[in-house]
Chains A and B, each alone.
Chain A
Amino acid sequence: MKGQKMAVYAAIAGILAGAAAIGGGLYAHSTQPVFGIPQFFGIYSDYLSGVHVLVGIGVIMVIGGLISFKWPSVGAIIVCLAAMIGLLYTYDRGEFRWTPLLYYWWGPWLLAWIAGIFAGYAAYKNVPQSNEKLADARHAEGRSA
C-alpha cells in the first residue's frame, strides 16, 4: 500500500519534470525560437535546438511519469534517462557551449531525481527482500542458490 503511494508520488514528480521541461521550452521559444546550436552528434536540424530538445524530452518525461502509475521502476528510469540526455545537450562540445540551457534543466533534473527517489522507495516496498538464509550464504559465496 505504501509502495503504491510512493509510485503515485513518483508519477507526479515525473509528470511535473516533463511539464517543467516543456514549459521551459515554450518560454525559450517565446524569447529565442532556435536556442543553441541545432545539432547533436553530427546531425543538424532545427528540431535539435534547445527549444525542441526541451519540449521533446519533456514529452518523454511526461510519458515516463504516466507509466510510473502502473510500473514505477520503468517509468522513473525513463524520466531519469530523459533528464540525463537533456543534460548532455548542455555540455561544452568544442566551440559550442549550451550552458544557458542548463538553467532550463535545473527544474526538470531536480524533479526527475525526486521521481527516482520515490520510485526507489516504491521498489523497496513492492519488491520483497530475500530472506532465504542458506540461499544468501551461497549467494555470498558466488554460487547459485
Chain B
Amino acid sequence: MTEMLRNEGLKRVRMRLITAVVFVFTLTCSGSFGMEDVVSSSGPGMTLLMILFLPLVWSVPMAFVASELGSMVPEAGGLYRWIRRGMGEYWSFQAGWWWTLSLYVDSAVYVALALDYMEAKWGLSGGTRALIGIGIVAVFTFINIRGLDLTGWSLTIIQVGVMVPLVIFTVWGIIVGSGNPFSPVLPEGESFLSSMQLGLAIMMWMYSGWESISTLAGEIENPQKVIPKALMIGTPIVIATYFFSVFAAIRVARIDGADNWMNMWTGGGGVDFVETAQIIGGGVLAYLMLMSAILSNIGLYAGYLATGARPQFQMSRDRLLPKFLGRTHRSWGTPWAAILLMAVVNGVLINFNFSVLITIDVFLLMFPYVLIFLTAMILRVTEPNAPRGFRVPMPTWLLGVWVAFPIAIAIIALFVNGTDWMIGGLIGILTGPIAYLVFKNIYKGTTDEALEGSTITPSGELTEFGAAVEGAAA
C-alpha cells in the first residue's frame, strides 16, 4: 500500500515494546544524574516528595495526553502534527520551531555534560575534548541515519550500561546508608513554597520528554498501539528509578554526617552520585557510576538527535522549511538531511561556550507543552468521535481540570529560572513569528489534502495521483 505522502520515503520498523520503553526511558530519565542539585536546594524530604507527587500534575498528564494524541495522529513529527490538526498551521509551526530550536541546544548540552564528566576524571586537553565530542556526534549521527532499529539497539545497550551500576548502587546504598532520607523535609529557614520553588525547575526538567517519542511515529509499525503502551509502562519505571536512587544517595551521603545532603550537587566539588558511590563501593563503584553518568548523557544525546530531527522534517514536507530537510535516505528510510543538520549544529556548539543559548531552552520547551495540552482539549471538543487508539479515561471537563495543573506549572517555570533565562526565552519566542513569516512567504505551505490520503482510495487502491507519485518515485 502506498504510504501517505506526508510520511513517504520513511521506512517503518517493527519496534518491540521493550525497545519503545527504552526510548521513553532514555528521553525522560536515562538515570538520575542531576537530581543531586534538587536535594541540596529543596531539602531531602521535599525532593523525595516532589519525585513522587510532581508526576501526578506534570509528567503523567503529558504522558496520557501524548498517548491520546499520538494514537489519534500517529505521524512523523508527533507534537507538530497534533497541533497542526488542532490549532492550524501557524501555531503548529510555532510549536515545531520552538521545540526544535530548544532541542538543537539541548542535545548539545548532553554531549557537553558527558565531556565534562570525562574531563573531571581524565583531565582532557581542549583538542582531545573537541575530538571526542565530534566523535560522539559522528557515531550517533550515523546510527540515527542508519535507522531506528540500530538506534533502538544502541539505546538498549547504553541503558544497560546506565542502569546496572545505578541499581547496584541503589540496593547497596539503601542497605548500608544511614538516617531517614525524608528528614529534614525542608532546608532550615525555607518555607514549603520557597523550598519547592528552588528545585522545581530542575525537577520539571528531569520529568520532561514524554512527548518526544511521538515524533518517531511515522517510522514505527502500529505507533498508535506501541507508543501509548510504552508511555504507560515507562512512567512508573522512571518515577521508581528517580525515587529509589535518590533515596539511596541521601542515605549514603549521610554516612559522612547527618547534614551532608547539603553538599549534594553536580558540577564539581559536591557530593554527586559518583562521590556517594565512592563512599560505599570505593574506586570500582565510583568508576562504574562515572561510566553510568557518561553513558546517561550520551544516551540522551542519541535519543534527542533522533526525535529532534523529525518535526523539522515534517515542517519541510508541509512546505514551511527548506525542501532539503524533507529528504529521506533511499535505502534506510530515515530523514537523513534533518538529522545531519542537527548533528552539524551540535558539533559546532559543543566546541564553543554556548551557555547563553541554553537560556532559551526552558521557555522554548514550555510554550509547546502548553500548546500540546490546549490541542488535546480542542480536539476533544472539535473531533470528539475521531478514532483514538488510546483515550485518557476521563471526561473532557475533567481532563481540562487535570491539564490546567501542568499548564500552570509550565507558566510558573517561566519565572523561576532566573532573569537571564527569561530574557533568553523572550528573545527565543520572538524567533517563532519571524521564522514563520520568512518561510511562509518563501515556501507558501501546503494544504493537508495535498499530502494526506491522496495517493490511495479509501479501499486501498492507487489513485491516479498515487500512480503518478509511484511513477515519480520509481
Which A residues lie at the B interface, using CB under 8 A?
73, 76-77, 80-81, 83-84, 87-88, 90-92, 99, 102, 105, 109, 112-113, 116-117, 119-121, 123-124, 127-134, 136-142
B450 touches A132 (CB 8 A): yes
A127 touches B445 (CB 8 A): yes
Interchain CA distance A145-B432 in the complex, whole Å = 27
Query: Does B454 sit at the interface, judged by CB under 8 A?
Result: yes
B447 touches A130 (CB 8 A): yes
A136 touches B434 (CB 8 A): no
B437's partner among A73, A92, A139 (CB-CB below 8 A) is A73
> Which residues from B are CB-within-8-Å of A128?
444
A134 touches B472 (CB 8 A): yes
A131 touches B441 (CB 8 A): no
Which B residues from 430 to 458 make CB contacts under 8 A with A? 430-434, 436-438, 440-441, 444-447, 449-451, 454
Using known A-B contacts A80-B430, A84-B427, determine if residue A142 contacts B441 with beta carbons closer than 8 Å.
no
> Which residues from A are CB-within-8-Å of B223?
none
A80 touches B445 (CB 8 A): no
The minimal Cβ–Cβ distance linking B200 to chain A, given in whole angstroms, is 21
- Interface magnitude class on chain B: 35 or more
Interchain CA distance A11-B327 in the complex, whole Å = 38
Smallest Cβ-Cβ distance to B425: which chain A residue? A87
Interchain CA distance A124-B90 in the complex, whole Å = 7
B317 touches A127 (CB 8 A): no
A109 touches B8 (CB 8 A): no
B468 touches A134 (CB 8 A): yes
Query: Does B191 sit at the interface, judged by CB under 8 A?
Result: no
> Which residues from B are CB-within-8-Å of A91?
356, 420, 423
A141 touches B444 (CB 8 A): no
> Which residues from B are CB-within-8-Å of A139?
317, 319, 323, 326, 446
Question: 6 smallest A-B Cβ distances: which pairs?
Answer: A116-B433, A142-B327, A73-B437, A129-B445, A80-B430, A137-B469
B9 touches A141 (CB 8 A): yes
Using known A-B contacts A80-B430, A127-B440, A131-B449, determine if residue A140 contacts B420 with beta carbons closer than 8 Å.
no
Smallest Cβ-Cβ distance to B359: which chain A residue? A91
B420's partner among A92, A112, A132, A137 (CB-CB below 8 A) is A92
Interchain CA distance A123-B436 in the complex, whole Å = 9
Residue from B89, B323, B324, B422 whose CB has the most chain A CB atoms within 10 Å: B323
The minimal Cβ–Cβ distance linking A81 to chain B, given in whole angstroms, is 7
> Which residues from A are CB-within-8-Å of B436?
116, 120, 123
The minimal Cβ–Cβ distance linking B333 to chain A, given in whole angstroms, is 13
A136 touches B319 (CB 8 A): yes
A119 touches B444 (CB 8 A): no
A141 touches B319 (CB 8 A): no
> Which residues from A are CB-within-8-Å of B8?
137, 140-141
The minimal Cβ–Cβ distance linking B340 to chain A, given in whole angstroms, is 13
Using known A-B contacts A102-B422, A123-B440, A131-B447, determine if residue A80 contacts B324 with beta carbons closer than 8 Å.
no
> Which residues from B are CB-within-8-Å of A80?
430, 433-434
Interchain CA distance A87-B420 in the complex, whole Å = 10
Interchain CA distance A49-B328 in the complex, whole Å = 50
Interchain CA distance A24-B202 in the complex, whole Å = 34
Query: Does B180 sit at the interface, judged by CB under 8 A?
Result: no
B446's partner among A81, A90, A136, A138 (CB-CB below 8 A) is A136
> Which residues from B are CB-within-8-Å of A83?
430
A133 touches B437 (CB 8 A): no
> Which residues from A are CB-within-8-Å of B6?
140
Given contacts A117-B90, A131-B450, 20 further A-B contacts (CB under 8 A): A73-B441, A76-B433, A80-B434, A87-B423, A91-B356, A92-B420, A102-B423, A109-B426, A120-B440, A124-B445, A127-B445, A129-B319, A130-B450, A131-B449, A133-B5, A133-B465, A134-B465, A136-B319, A141-B9, A142-B327
> Which residues from A are CB-within-8-Å of B454?
133
A130 touches B432 (CB 8 A): no
> Which residues from B are CB-within-8-Å of A76?
433-434, 437
> Which residues from A are CB-within-8-Å of B444?
127-130
> Which residues from B are CB-within-8-Å of A134?
465, 468-469, 472
Smallest Cβ-Cβ distance to B326: which chain A residue? A140
Residue from A76, A91, A102 whose CB has the most chain B CB atoms within 10 Å: A91
The minimal Cβ–Cβ distance linking B10 to chain A, given in whole angstroms, is 10
A140 touches B441 (CB 8 A): no
Interchain CA distance A77-B144 in the complex, whole Å = 35
> Which residues from B are CB-within-8-Å of A127?
440-441, 444-445
A130 touches B319 (CB 8 A): yes
